[in-house]
């Protein structure tokens, strides 16, 4: 869902990536728990027995742990049982459920994407359906949390769940009995041919299955179209599993090339080197990044940049380069503790400095979302230490990956203009209603996303309908750009997240810059 909602979907993507940025090395560190000893236990116990109001021992204990970890670094964290469950599915690249993506609209759950070949897909659920009931329990109008709805829909493979849905054009509630199954989480969310010799692959996160997905996508592009150039889009990719990132970088590097290394005071240096994979040989490569590119995706970008294997295009990346190990506690909660840092082959630490306090650390990040200034502004905090690529080219340090070519905005639209129009709730409400009311008509005219991308032209009247009063805010200068962007949103609602990119790439400045470099 690239750039489909800057402050919602991207934020979710990044937060997931930060949670998942730990090493899955099947090693549980030894950890000796204190048996209710020490000052913290003594204080909490005293408060529980003597404080003027009733207090909960576990809540105070959890709060103490969270406060302790927050004093160490931005990403060491305490995980509840729910946190552990939520972070496991993306790492494994699959979950057990019915196979839908949804969003909450007002107080109603609307299906926005049905995963192909999953239980919901096979039974006939459609994007746009409103879920009214689950196992006879009403969920519409109940103001339920997303997590509670997920708990109702997910479940062990083979178990049954009955959903009641409302669909435009049908009277009453339609009931579907679904048998839950294993649902793959697709991390390569777009792969297609941009021009006669250039392929495009978008990766939204790194799970344990990402490398296989990526190889299959690249193999298909090479075999079917004989591509010579490849654009790898890592924008909005919050990271994930280290090993998958290493395997993707390996595709493009010669045997023995250093990909990344990790090191900490209590962890000796450990290097990850390429073992040689000819799949990426001979391809010209460009990697797209932005301020939401983090963790594992920064490892890929840094490795290809330092080995002079790809041109990095976009904005400076997030700078999440801390290695976490997970420690399970006896009550099935966990600690995720930073034990080392990631370093690119040239020796740059990926982690952005946080020695001036966490408030500034996160403030700098949020300011970067609105940063539309010059190259000099973007590199003002670079490290004074010089780093060099394999071929001797100078690269910048001090956290994150600084692109070779800076692109401050994906589209030729001011940030405030974007947020007041396409970032508004009014637009999303109008978009959803429009697609639902015209879904069958549009699908008849444009049976698939490729035909839609080539032939669909939005009218001014349709733009006015979708944008409402904000239509008059965009002005003539940006109207043609908005027409393509709005068309891409419609494509996403109709077909898939990949359809968004197939429609919007002609006005995507990062993609167009990459195509220019290939020429």
Q: CATH 3.90.226.10: which residues of the chain?
A: 188-406
94-184: CATH class = mainly beta
pLDDT digits (tens, 9 = 90+) for 2-32: 454 443 344 434 444 444 444 444 444 444 4
Please tell me which residue in 130, 166, 209, 320 is annotated as part of the active site: 320
pTM of the shown model: 0.84
Q: Are 399 and 391 in contact (CB under 8 A)?
A: no
pLDDT digits (tens, 9 = 90+) for 193-217: 999 999 999 999 999 999 999 999 9
**What's the mean pLDDT when you consider all of the chain?**
85
Of 308 and 359, which is predicted with more confidence? 308
pLDDT digits (tens, 9 = 90+) for 455-471: 999 999 999 999 998 89
Domain 188-406 has CATH 1.20.1730.10: no
Q: Is the pLDDT of residue 94 over 90?
A: no
Please tell me which residue in 129, 306, 364, 508 is annotated as part of the active site: 306
Please tell me which residue in 295, 368, 487, 496 is annotated as part of the active site: 295
CA distance 171 to 167: 8
Q: What is the CA radius of gyration of the chain?
A: 24
pLDDT digits (tens, 9 = 90+) for 278-290: 999 999 999 999 9
Of the ranges 138-152, 228-242, 299-313, which one carries the lowest mean pLDDT score? 138-152
504 catalytic, yes or no?
Answer: no
Q: CATH 2.30.42.10: which residues of the chain?
A: 94-184
pLDDT digits (tens, 9 = 90+) for 429-452: 889 889 988 988 999 999 999 999
**Cβ-based neighbours of 514, under 8 Å, separated by 6 or more:** 229, 231, 286, 288, 311, 313
424 catalytic, yes or no?
Answer: no
- The secondary structure element, H or E, covering residue 94 is strand 94-97
306 catalytic, yes or no?
Answer: yes
Picking from 71, 174, 81, the residue whose alpha carbon sits closest to that of residue 123 is: 174
**Cβ-based neighbours of 343, under 8 Å, separated by 6 or more:** 260, 261, 262, 263, 321, 349, 350
CA distance 199 to 197: 7
Q: Are 287 and 12 in contact (CB under 8 A)?
A: no
């Amino acid at each position: 869902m690239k750039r489909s909602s800057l402050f919602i979907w991207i934020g979710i993507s990044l937060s997931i990536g930060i949670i998942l940025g730990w090493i899955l090395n099947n090693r549980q560190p030894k950890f000796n728990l204190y048996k209710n000893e020490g000052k913290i236990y003594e204080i909490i116990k005293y408060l529980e027995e003597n404080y003027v109001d009733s207090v909960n021992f576990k809540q105070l204990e959890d709060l103490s742990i969270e406060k302790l970890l927050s004093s160490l670094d931005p990403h060491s964290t305490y995980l509840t049982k729910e946190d552990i469950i939520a972070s496991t599915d993306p790492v494994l690249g699959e979950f057990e459920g019915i196979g839908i993506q949804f969003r909450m609209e007002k107080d109603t759950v609307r299906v926005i994407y049905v995963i192909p070949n999953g239980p919901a897909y096979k039974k006939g659920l459609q994007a746009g359906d409103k879920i009214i009931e689950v196992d006879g329990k009403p969920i519409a109008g109940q103001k339920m949390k997303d997590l509670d709805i997920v708990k109702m829909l997910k479940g062990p493979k083979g178990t049954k769940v009955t959903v009641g849905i409302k669909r435009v054009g049908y009277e009453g509630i339609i009931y579907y009995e679904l048998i839950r199954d294993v649902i793959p989480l697709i991390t390569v969310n777009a792969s297609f041919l941009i021009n006669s010799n250039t392929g495009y692959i978008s990766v939204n996160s790194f799970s344990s299955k990402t490398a296989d997905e990526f190889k299959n996508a690249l193999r298909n592009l090479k075999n079917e179209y004989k591509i010579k150039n490849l654009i790898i889009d890592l924008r909005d990719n919050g990271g994930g599993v280290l090993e998958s990132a290493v395997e993707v970088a390996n595709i493009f590097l010669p045997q023995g090339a250093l990909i990344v290394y990790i090191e900490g005071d209590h962890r000796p240096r450990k290097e990850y080197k390429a073992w040689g994979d000819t799949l990426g040989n001979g391809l010209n490569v460009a990697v797209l990044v932005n301020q939401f590119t983090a963790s594992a995706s920064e490892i890929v970008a840094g490795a290809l940049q330092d080995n002079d294997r790809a041109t990095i295009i976009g904005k400076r990346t997030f700078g999440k380069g801390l290695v976490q190990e997970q420690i399970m506690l006896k009550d099935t909660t966990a600690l995720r503790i930073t034990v080392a840092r990631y370093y690119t082959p040239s020796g740059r630490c990926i982690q952005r400095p946080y020695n001036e306090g966490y408030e500034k650390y996160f403030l700098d990040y949020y300011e970067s979302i609105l940063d539309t200034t010059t190259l000099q502004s973007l590199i003002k905090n670079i490290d004074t230490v010089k780093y060099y690529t394999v071929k001797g080219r100078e690269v910048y340090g001090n956290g994150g990956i600084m692109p070779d070519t800076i692109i401050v905005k994906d589209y030729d639209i001011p940030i405030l203009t974007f947020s007041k129009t396409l970032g508004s709730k009014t637009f999303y409400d109008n978009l959803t209603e429009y697609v639902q009311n015209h879904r069958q008509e549009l699908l008849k005219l444009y049976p698939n996303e490729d035909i839609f991308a080539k032939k669909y032209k939005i009218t001014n009247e349709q733009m006015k309908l979708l944008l409402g009063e904000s239509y008059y805010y965009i002005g003539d200068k940006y109207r043609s750009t908005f027409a393509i962007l709005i068309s891409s949103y419609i494509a996403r609602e109709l077909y898939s997240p990949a359809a968004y990119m197939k429609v919007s790439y002609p006005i995507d400045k990062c993609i167009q810059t990459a195509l220019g470099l290939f020429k």
